Amino acid sequence: MRHVILVPDEDGVGFTAEVPSLPGCISEGDTLEETLENIREAIALYIESMKAHGEPVPEDRPIQVVKV
């Protein structure tokens, strides 16, 4: 399981999801459920690709969200 940042789209329809511990692992969806499904798939493919290329898979790291 990975920490994921969800950002609502500016137009109010859909979300973007980003995984801080996997740089460049980003996905989108029209609904929260679709976005979560898409990012789960993106995470699995990202990690699968890293392993296939003999790259170390980074550990998940806790995130802190603050409003400034």
The pLDDT tens digits of the residues spanning 19-65 come to 999 999 999 999 999 999 999 999 999 999 999 999 999 999 888 88
Residue spans per domain, the chain:
5-52
Mean pLDDT (whole number) for 12-18: 94
24: Cβ contacts below 8 Å, ≥ 6 apart? 46
Residue 12 has pLDDT above 90, yes or no: no
The pLDDT score that the predictor gives to residue 56 is 97
Query: What is the DSSP annotation of 4-55?
Result: -EEEE-TTSS-EEEE-TTSTT-EEEESSHHHHHHHHHHHHHHHHHHHHHTTP
pTM: 0.89
25: Cβ contacts below 8 Å, ≥ 6 apart? 18, 19, 39, 42, 43, 46
The pLDDT score that the predictor gives to residue 31 is 95
